[in-house]
Amino acid sequence: MAENPQQLIPGDPVSPEIARLRKELQKIRGELVFLRGECDTLAVEKANLEKRLREYSEMLEQKVKERTRDLEAINEIATTVSRSLQLDVILRDSLAKVLEVLELDAGAVFLTDERKRELRLMVQHGLPQDVVTQIQVVPLGNGCPGGVVKKGEPLLINDCKSAELKDSPLARYPEFKAMAGIPLESKGRARGVFCLISRNPNRFREEDLKMLVTIGSEIGVAIENAGLYEKSHAHSRKMEELSITDSLTGLHNRRQFYRRLKDEMKRARRQRFPVSLLVLDLDNLKSYNDRMGHLRGDEALRAVAEAITASIRQDVDSGYRYGGDEFAVILPYSTGKDSLEVAERIQRTFNDFRLENTGLSIGLTELDHDEEIDDFVTRADSAMYTAKGEGGNRVHVEDF
């Protein structure tokens, strides 16, 4: 049998090289084992990173949902409070919307009276009646609302049995578990406080605080705007009243007389009810001024206004200084006969002032539903001049 020329022979000079290669191969096998371990470690780390990434993504998604919910809640409440400029409507609707959106059980709104250093309950929902009675007025520093204003920051209480509420009327009601007090701020001032109450323990979280403060600011601005509107509206009403009021007598003036008479005539035609008109003249005013002075003359004019006001039906009839020494009275729902009694009563009341050599000449007429306003006034005016021509200090009834 022929011998294999490649067969290794002991002592062959190639053997050390083979040994070295074997050693290298063993080293490579060790490195492969190490790399497999490293790969396994990297795979675990990758799995852990993927898990953390999923968790972070879920957490981020949850925070986005919560933030979206908060923004939607803020938007709903802001929309609600912007619908009105009337304070009572704003407070009532905003409390209802906050309780609805945040799914809370009860709440109350207090407004700050800085001069008296107290808060007043304006509106509430879901509170027991005895609690409502006791919290009508809360001194600054007391209870949830007083503490919020005094500290100038929100108050979260997730245990209504805590020392902070030991003196609160709510302490007697174990079903109320958690409370939040939110300042209603505008321009750095606490206009009031929202007290929100839940039956769920730990209902309010620190994460909710930013949203609640934002809601409080929205309502605080709405409260301030309502106050500004009321002041502006009151000023407008005052200016309007001044523009239609005679400054000497306090009666409405000629401008308002025609405005009111026009309205009464329209209603009378539509509803077919009677309207009577008196035109009055203060007799001998010029000579009275000459003798007694203009200050006494002004007193005589005021006496006419007082006699009219004392003799007519409030909120039905109306008296006016028509101009100079002339006055007028509109008498809705009054026939000529009814109005004659009013005219005589005005005359008697004025005469009781006993102003020397003065009196009232009064013309009276009843509306013809087909006549125009100028014709109606002219007929009453003519009746007054007739009374004056007959000697004055009397009533003349114009035929109708």
pLDDT for 132-146, tens place per residue? 998 999 888 888 888
pLDDT band at 166 (very low <50, low <70, confident <90, very high): low
pLDDT for residue 21: 83
Question: What is the predicted pLDDT for the residue at 171?
Answer: 75
Q: What is the 3-state secondary structure (H, E, C) of the chain?
A: CCCCCCCCCCCCCCHHHHHHHHHHHHHHHHHHHHHHHHHHHHHHHHHHHHHHHHHHHHHHHHHHHHHHHHHHHHHHHHHHHCCCCCHHHHHHHHHHHHHHHHCCCEEEEEEEECCCCEEEEEEEECCCHHHHHHCCEEECCCHHHHHHHHHCCCEEECCCCCHHHCCCHHHHCCCCCEEEEEEEEECCEEEEEEEEEECCCCCCCHHHHHHHHHHHHHHHHHHHHHHHHHHHHHHHHHHHHHHCECCCCCCECHHHHHHHHHHHHHHHHHHCCCEEEEEEEECCHHHHHHHHCHHHHHHHHHHHHHHHHHHCCCCCCEEEEEECCEEEEEEECCCHHHHHHHHHHHHHHHHCCCCCCCCEEEEEEECCCCCCHHHHHHHHHHHHHHHHHCCCCCEEECCC
Residue 400 scores a pLDDT above 70: no
Q: Residue 1: is its pLDDT beyond 50?
A: no
- Catalytic: which of 70, 105, 283, 325? 325
Instruction: Specify which of 56-65, 88-97, 117-126, 178-187 reaches the highest per-range mean pLDDT.
Output: 117-126
pLDDT of residue 13: 55
Structure-block tokens of residue 165: 């509420």
pLDDT tens digits, one per residue of 382-394: 999 999 999 999 9
Residue ranges of the chain that CATH labels 3.30.450.40: 87-238
Q: What percent of the chain has pLDDT over 90?
A: 40
Fold classification of 254-397 is: Alpha-Beta Plaits (3.30.70)
CATH 3.30.70.270 residue ranges of the chain are 254-397
Residue 325 known to be catalytic: yes
Per residue in 370-382, pLDDT (tens digit) is 999 999 999 999 9
* Superfamily the domain 87-238 falls into: GAF domain (3.30.450.40)
